[in-house]
Amino acid sequence: MKEELESLVSQMIEGGIKFEDAIGEFEKRFVKKALEAHNGNQTKAARLLGIHRNTLSRKILEHGLDHKPKKRRKR
Q: What is the mean pLDDT of the chain?
A: 91
Domain regions of the chain by residue span: 19-66
Other C-beta atoms lying within 10 Å of the C-beta of residue 33? 13
Cβ within 8 Å of residue 57, ≥6 positions away: 42, 67
pLDDT per residue as tens digits for the range 6-35: 999 999 999 999 999 999 999 999 999 999
Instruction: Give 16's DSSP letter.
Output: T
Q: For the CA atoms of 50, 52, 56, 62, what is the dihedral angle to 10 degrees?
A: -120
Tell me how far apart the alpha carbons of residues 39 and 46 are, in angstroms, rounded to a whole number: 12
Other C-beta atoms lying within 10 Å of the C-beta of residue 15? 8
Superfamily of the domain at 19-66: Homeodomain-like (1.10.10.60)
